[in-house]
Each structure stands twice: as C-alpha cells, then as structure tokens.
Amino acid sequence: MATRVETFGRRRLRAASSSFDRHIRLWLIAPAVLIILALTIFPLAFSLWVSFVEFDFSVSNEHPWVGLDNFRDNWRDPVWIHSLKVTAILATASVVVELAIGFLLALAMLRPFRGRRPLMTLFVLPLFMSPVIVGGFFDLFLRRPFGPMNWLLNQIPWMGDVSIDFTNDFPWTFISLIIADAWQWTPFMFVILLAGLSSISDELYEAAEIDGAKPRQSFFFVTLPLLMPIVLIALTFRFIDAAKLFDIIYSLTRGGPGTDTYTSSYYLYQQGFEFFHLGQGTAGSWMFLVFLTVISFWLVRRLLKPLEA
C-alpha cells in the first residue's frame, strides 16, 4: 500500500514538474504582467470612469454619472480649442528649429577635429536637465527688468534702445518658449542625425565623386536619401513629445499673458489640479490621447512609407 502511495506521489510530482516546465515562460512573465496591470491598466480604467462622472471637488464629494457632458464641456470651452492650436504651433515650430540646428551641428561635428569631444559633451548637456530647470533658467535670463537679455541686445550698435518683455509681449512669448524648448531638445536631434550620418559609408561618396558628382549633388542624392529614414523617425518621436509641452510653460509664462500660451497639457493641468474639475480634465486628457494617437498613426504610416517601398 505504501509503495502505491509513493509511486502515485512521484507521478504527481513529475506531472507538476512537467507542467511547470511547459509553462515556464508564462511563470517568468507573470510578475511583470501583474505589475503592468497594477500600475498601468488600473489607473487607465479608473481615469476612464472619472471621465464619465462628475468628479468635481469644488462642488461635492459625490460622483454622479454625467455621460458625455465632460467631453462636451471641453469642446464648448474656447480656451480648450485655443490650447489645441497653440500646441500645434509650438510643437511644429520647435521641431522644425531643432531639426535645422541639429542637422547643421551634426554636419559640423561629423569629421574629427581638435576639441571635438569636449564640444560634443557641451552640446549634449542640456538634454540631461529637467525641463523645469530649463524654464526657470530662461525665466531668469529673459524676464524684465532683471534678466540680462535686453542689456545684451542694447550692446549691439544697430539695435538701438531695446526693451522687450519676452514673457508677456506677443510674439516674444512664443519665441521664448520655442528657444527654451529648442535649447534643451536640439541635442536629441543632433545625436540621432550624427549617428545616421556616421553610418553612411565613405565608399558611396567616393563612387559619386568618380561619377563626377559635385559635393552639392552628393549631399542631395546620397546623404539625404540615406538619412531620410532616421530624420523621419526623429521627427515622429520628437513631435509627439513636443505636443505634451508643459514644464517650460509652467516655469516661464504660466500660460500667459492671459491664456495666450496655454497648451493642451497646461489647460488640462489647470482644470484638474487648480480648479479641481477632475472629470472635465480627465475627459480632455482622453481626447488629447486620441488626437496624439491619430497623429502618431498618420506620421508612422505617411512619413515612414518610403521605408516600405
């Protein structure tokens, strides 16, 4: 009898061991899946619920179901529509400036020269700074009357008497935000484009030179076509990130003057954490997520279409 029990026990142990071996991959990823569910899926599901209720601490602590009212309130708010336009303008302008300057820097730093490494380190340093610190630095640099920017402009003979309020005067508020964002994120473009340029073989340029191509022709018919996939990927990632601009605006302009420099992120922050209209703010966040998803899909499908050819 004991022998039968021991045999049965060994069989069950082998069966359990065999089952564990077959599902070892599932057991290994199970902790990661549980963490993702706890830290990502649950907050998303909770925020989706908040979008359809009156989660407004300024009114009451109860959360009645309101359906699509929070979404309609955003669409009817002219400040929300204005913030979408400002987001598109700032994101597009910042990415264009960063691409142009980053490409010029990458071309200048492509060939080795004395002092190249210290310069590259200096160029990349802003990338590791907090956006809040960047916004605070430019606020100190540009704000009148304490910032030195107006004094520096007055030292240029043909500028005359300069007195610009960079944080309140249109269009200088937009220019200030673009400069601050470009100062921090141009290194991102620079590093990616430099890596792309470095990956192009010198043999291709030698072949083009043998065929009689001039430097300008080599640039347009060799460099740009081979670099374009890298450029498109950099543009896609950077535009999506620039569309979420918040930190620099919070530190530099606080959305002012008035609501002129409200981006969608700043508008949603104000609705949720200053006015405590969490239902409307969360609904706007989901709307903004849909917008970014559509734009991202379009960029990937349209801009990266040459890669599929």
DSSP character string of 264-276? HHHHHHHHHHTS-
Q: Which residues contact 65 (CB under 8 A, 6 or more apart)?
A: 52, 53
Residues in contact with 139: Cβ distance below 8 Å, sequence separation at least 6, in sequence order: 147, 167, 251, 252
How far is 31 from 33, CA to CA, in rounded Å?
5
Q: CATH 1.10.3720.10 occupies which residues in the chain?
A: 73-308
Give the pLDDT score at 103.
Answer: 92
Residue count of the chain: 309
Report the CATH number of the 73-308 domain: 1.10.3720.10
User: In one letter, which amino acid is 131?
Assistant: P
Structure-token pair, residue 259:
């609501």
Q: Give the per-residue pLDDT at 100.
A: 94
pLDDT of residue 2: 47
Contact between residue 188 and residue 127 where contact means Cβ atoms under 8 Å apart: yes
pLDDT of the residue at 5: 47
Closest CA to 226 of 254, 256, 265, 195: 195
| Residues 284 and 264 sit within 8 Å (Cβ to Cβ) | yes
Closest Cα to residue 176, out of 235, 249, 117?
249
- State the Cα–Cα distance between residues 99 and 104, nearest whole angstrom: 9
Q: What is the residue-level pLDDT of the chain in tens, covering all 309 positions?
A: 445 545 544 555 555 556 655 667 777 788 888 888 888 888 888 888 989 988 876 666 777 888 889 899 889 999 999 999 999 999 999 999 999 999 999 988 888 888 888 888 888 889 888 888 898 899 888 888 778 888 888 888 777 777 888 888 888 899 999 999 999 999 999 999 999 988 888 888 888 888 787 888 888 888 888 888 888 888 888 998 999 899 899 988 888 888 899 999 999 998 888 888 888 889 999 999 898 888 888 877 766 665 554
Among residues 256, 293, 289, 279, the alpha carbon closest in space to that of 79 is found at 256
Q: What is the DSSP letter of 159?
A: G
Six token digits for residue 2: 């004991």
Q: Say which amino acid occupies 278.
A: L
